[in-house]
Amino acid sequence: MPLFSEPPSVIKSTFGSLDQSTVAATPMDTTAVMTMSSVKSTPNLRLFKSAAKDNRIEFSENKDVVESIRSFEFNEDPSFWKDHNVQVIIRIRPLSSSEISLQGHGKCVRQESSQTITWTGHPESRFTFDMVADENVTQEMLFKAAGVPMVENCMGGYNSCVFAYGQTGSGKTHTMLGDIEGGTRRHSVNCGMTPRVFEYLFSRIQKEREARREENIKFTCRCSFLEIYNEQILDLLNPSSVNLQIREDIKKGIHVEDLTEIEVTSARDVMQQLLQGAANRKVAATNMNRASSRSHSVFTCVIESKWESQGVTHHRFARFNLVDLAGSERQKSSGAEGERLKEATNINKSLSTLGLVIMNLVSISNGKSHHVPYRDSKLTFLLQDSLGGNAKTCIIANISPSSCCSLETLSTLKFAQRAKYIKNHFSLPITEYKLELFSFCPDNHLLSQAFVNEDASGDVLAMRIQIQNLKKEVARLRSMADGGAENHENDGWTVAFPGSPTSVKWEGLHGLSSPLTADKRMSKKKDYEVALVGAFRRENDKDIALHALTAEIQAAMQLTKQREDEIQGLKMRLRFREAAVKRLESVASGKISAEIHLLKEKEEHLKEIEVLRNQVDRNQEVTRFAMENLRLKEEIRRHVISVLF
C-alpha cells in the first residue's frame, strides 16, 4: 500500500535517533559519561537508526537471562484518572547485546513490586511510581494501561498529554512509535503507543457515533506535527514555515501561530501525517545536520465533538499531545563547538527548564507559591497546559537497566519522582463558583481536578430545562455523597468518565477484572464528588449563559421599543409634511390664501416640535442625563447651602 511503503527508517527519524558520540549524563546530573559502543554515529545514518538492522540495538537471546527476570503484575487502574491528573510510569527496556558485552548482565536497578524500583548504586535508593513496566511488559500491555485511559480522557473533554522521557537509546521512540513496518490495521507486536492510540480513538469515535445517533453527534479531528530544535519551532507538515511563534489568547489558549492543521478521519490518515512529517524532517535534517534525538517532537490531535440534547447544542474539545523528548543525557561538555554546542545548550535549556517547571509545580502543590518559568523554553511554554493547567498528563520515563547507564538511569528516576509530586492546579482565577466548591470539598482535593472543555448553547427555554435537570442531578449526587444512597450495583467495571455523557465498559487487561480496592466506598464517594463538581460547573456555565442571554434579550427589547417610538415620530412628521404639501398646492391653485397657509404651517410646526420633544424625553440616554443633571443640581444646591451656613 502506498501509504506505508515508506521505509520504517523515515518513521524512526520522526521520533528520535542515536548519536552516541555525545551521549553523557543528564542536564541535572553532570557527573557521568555513558558510552554505548554498539550504536554508530555516522551523520547520514543517524536518521535511519531504527531501520537498519545492523544499526539497531541488539537484544540478548539468552534464555537463562530472560527466565531469570522476575515479572510483576502490570495492571491498569480504571479509577486512576478520576482523582489524578499526572501519571508517571517507568519503563525498563531489556539489556542490549552491546551493554552485555560491555558490562555483562550487571544491572543498576531492581524492581521490588509493580510500583517500586530500587536503584542499586551507592547509596541504594528506592522509588515509587504509579506503575513500573519491566522488560516483559509488551507494547500492547503498555497501551492498555496508559494509552486507552488517555484516549478516554480526551473523549471526556480533557486535554491530555503523553510524553516519553529518557536518555538516548532508552526506548522513547520504541514506546511512542515502535515498529510500524507493514503498517496494516493488524499491528505488529512491537507497534508503539501512537498508532495504537489513534486506531483506538477512531474506533471509540465510531462507537460513540452509533450509540448517540439520536443526539446527532459529530466529531472533527485535526492533527499537527511540530519539532522544537535549537529553540525554534518547525512545522513538520509544512517545512517551508520555520521559526513559528507560540501565542496565547483567551479563545485559543496556548497555540503555535500559523501551524498547519490537517483534518483526519481515520488512524490511516493520522499515520499519513506522521509519515509526511517524518519525510519533511528528513529533508530539514540534511540541511541543518541535526538528529532527532536532539530535538523534541510534538504530535497533536485536536478532537472536537458537537451534539444536540433537549434543544441545547453541546460542544466539547480536547487536545491530545504525544511528545517524544530529546535524549536527556548531558551533552558532552568538552569538544562541543559550533552547531553542536548550540544544540547542546538548547537541549539542556529546555530539559532543565522542564525539570525546573516540574520542581516549582511541586512546590505549588505543597502550598508554596512560586513562579513557574514556563516561558523560559519553547517546550515548557507549549506544554504549559499539560504540565500545570487543566490537562491529564502521562509521563513515561524510559530507562536502561544496565550498570553502564547507572547514572543516567538514576537521573531519569529522580526526574520522574519529582514529576510524581505534581498536582495540576487551576489556571483560572478563583471565582465565587470555585469558592462554592471550596466549601463543598473540605480537603480541597477536588480543586486539583482537570477541567472538561465543554460549552453549550441553545434557546432560553431549553437552557432553563437543562438547569432544572442539572439542579436535580446536583441534589441527587449531594444526597449520595452524604452517604444517603449507596448504590452497590455500580461495583462493576463500567467507568463513567467525568463530563462524559456515556460510560465505557472497561475490559481490563486481557479481559480480566482486577479486584477493587478495600476503600471502594471512599473511591465511590470521590467519584460522586467529581461528578458533582462537574455538575456544579455545568450548572454555573449554564447560569452564566442564561444571564447573558436574558440581558441580551432585554437590551434587544429596549432597542426595539426605542426604534418603534422613532418610527411613530417619523410617521407623524410625514403626515405634517404631506398636509403642508397639500396646503401649498391649494395656495398655488388659489383655493386658500397664503396667510391661512402660514398660520396652519406655524400650528403644525408647533405640533411637530412637541412630537420631537416627546421623543427626546423618551430617549433613555437623555432621561439618564436629565436625572443626572437634576441630581448634580441638587448636590450643588446642598453644597452651596452648607458653605453659606
Ligand X SMILES: Nc1ncnc2c1ncn2[C@@H]1O[C@H](COP(=O)(O)OP(=O)(O)OP(=O)(O)O)[C@@H](O)[C@H]1O
The interface mask with ligand X, positions 315-334, x = CB under 6 A, is ------------x-------
Contact 440, 133 (CB under 8 A): no
The neighbouring-strand residues paired with 88 are 395
Contact region with ligand X (CB under 6 A), list: 65-73, 167-175, 374-382, 601-609: 167-175
Amino acid at 339: E
Contact 355, 418 (CB under 8 A): yes
Nearer to ligand X, 166 or 458 (CB): 166
Look at strands 116-119 and 125-128 and give their pairing. antiparallel
SS3 of 320, please?
A: strand
Q: Is 173 in the site for ligand X (CB under 6 A)?
A: yes
170 annotated binding-site participant: yes
The phi, psi pair for 321, rounded to 5°, reads -105, 130
The interface mask with ligand X, positions 502-531, x = CB under 6 A, is ------------------------------
Q: Which residue has the cell 470521590?
A: 526
Identify the residue among 149, 169, 277, 401 touching ligand X (CB under 6 A): 169
353 annotated binding-site participant: no
Least spacing, CB of residue 407 vs ligand X, in Å: 16
The interface mask with ligand X, positions 387-426, x = CB under 6 A, is -----------x----------------------------
DSSP state of 12: H
Buried b (16+ CB within 10 A) or exposed e, 245-273: ebeeeeeebbbbeebbbbebebbbbbbbb
Least spacing, CB of residue 172 vs ligand X, in Å: 4
169 annotated binding-site participant: yes
Nearer to ligand X, 50 or 238 (CB): 50
The interface mask with ligand X, positions 283-302, x = CB under 6 A, is ---------xx---------
Identify the residue among 170, 384, 412, 417 touching ligand X (CB under 6 A): 170
Identify the residue among 174, 330, 524, 583 touching ligand X (CB under 6 A): 174
Task: Please give the C-alpha separations between residue 349 and each of 29, 344, 360, 411, 460, in angstroms, as whole numbers.
Answer: 14, 8, 16, 16, 52
Cell numbers standing for residue 213: 445517533
Nearer to ligand X, 94 or 149 (CB): 94
Element (H, E) at 254: strand 253-256
The neighbouring-strand residues paired with 312 are 309, 458
Identify the residue among 9, 10, 13, 16 touching ligand X (CB under 6 A): 16
Burial class (CB in 10 A: 0-12, 13-18, 19+), 603: exposed
Q: How far apart are CA 474 and CA 452, in angstroms?
A: 17
Nearer to ligand X, 11 or 221 (CB): 11
SS3 of 318, please?
A: strand
Which residue in the shown chain puts its C-beta closest to ligand X?
A: 16
Of 67, 66, 70, 72, the closest CA to residue 113 belongs to 72
Q: How far apart are CA 79 and CA 516, in angstroms?
A: 10
Nearer to ligand X, 21 or 120 (CB): 21
Element (H, E) at 198: helix 193-211
526 annotated binding-site participant: no
Most distant CA atoms of the chain, gap in Å: 128
Contact 225, 274 (CB under 8 A): yes
Least spacing, CB of residue 300 vs ligand X, in Å: 19
Least spacing, CB of residue 138 vs ligand X, in Å: 9
Least spacing, CB of residue 107 vs ligand X, in Å: 15
Contact region with ligand X (CB under 6 A), list: 168-176, 378-386, 467-475, 586-594: 168-176
Nearer to ligand X, 52 or 496 (CB): 52
Nearer to ligand X, 140 or 601 (CB): 140
Nearer to ligand X, 19 or 199 (CB): 19
SS3 of 242, please?
A: coil
Q: Is 277 in the site for ligand X (CB under 6 A)?
A: no
Identify the residue among 107, 172, 330, 538 touching ligand X (CB under 6 A): 172
Contact 244, 259 (CB under 8 A): yes
Contact region with ligand X (CB under 6 A), list: 56-64, 222-230, 295-303, 627-635: 56-64
Nearer to ligand X, 78 or 327 (CB): 327
484 annotated binding-site participant: no
Contact 18, 41 (CB under 8 A): yes
Q: Give the Cβ contact number of residue 559 at 10 Å.
A: 11
Q: Is 166 in the site for ligand X (CB under 6 A)?
A: yes
SS3 of 510, please?
A: helix
The interface mask with ligand X, positions 98-137, x = CB under 6 A, is ----------------------------------------
Least spacing, CB of residue 94 vs ligand X, in Å: 5
CA 625, distance to chain mean position in Å, is 49
310 annotated binding-site participant: no
Identify the residue among 13, 22, 38, 50 touching ligand X (CB under 6 A): 50
* Count, residues near ligand X per rule CB under 6 A: 21
Which stretches within 21-147 are classed as H helix? 43-46, 63-68, 97-103, 139-142
Q: What is the DSSP string of 453-480?
A: -EEEEE-HHHHHHHHHHHHHHHHHHHHH
Nearer to ligand X, 20 or 321 (CB): 20
Q: What is the DSSP string of 282-295?
A: HHHHHHHT--GGGS
Nearer to ligand X, 153 or 398 (CB): 398
Nearer to ligand X, 58 or 83 (CB): 58
Contact 277, 10 (CB under 8 A): no
Identify the residue among 168, 276, 403, 466 touching ligand X (CB under 6 A): 168
Q: Is 94 in the site for ligand X (CB under 6 A)?
A: yes
Q: Is 183 in the site for ligand X (CB under 6 A)?
A: no
Q: How far apart are CA 330 and CA 225, in angstroms?
A: 26
172 annotated binding-site participant: yes
Identify the residue among 17, 348, 393, 453 touching ligand X (CB under 6 A): 17
DSSP state of 26: -
Contact region with ligand X (CB under 6 A), list: 169-177, 203-211, 232-240, 563-571: 169-177
156 annotated binding-site participant: no
Identify the residue among 56, 212, 418, 478 touching ligand X (CB under 6 A): 56
Instruction: With both helix axes pointing from N to C terminus, report the angle between 620-644 and 594-618 in degrees, rounded to the nearest 10.
Output: 70
Contact 230, 342 (CB under 8 A): yes
Amino acid at 161: C
The interface mask with ligand X, positions 331-370, x = CB under 6 A, is ----------------------------------------
Residues binding ligand X (CB under 6 A): 16-18, 50, 56-57, 59, 93-94, 166, 168-174, 292-293, 327, 398
Question: Which residues sit in the known binding site for ATP?
Answer: 166-173
Q: List binding-site positions.
A: 166-173
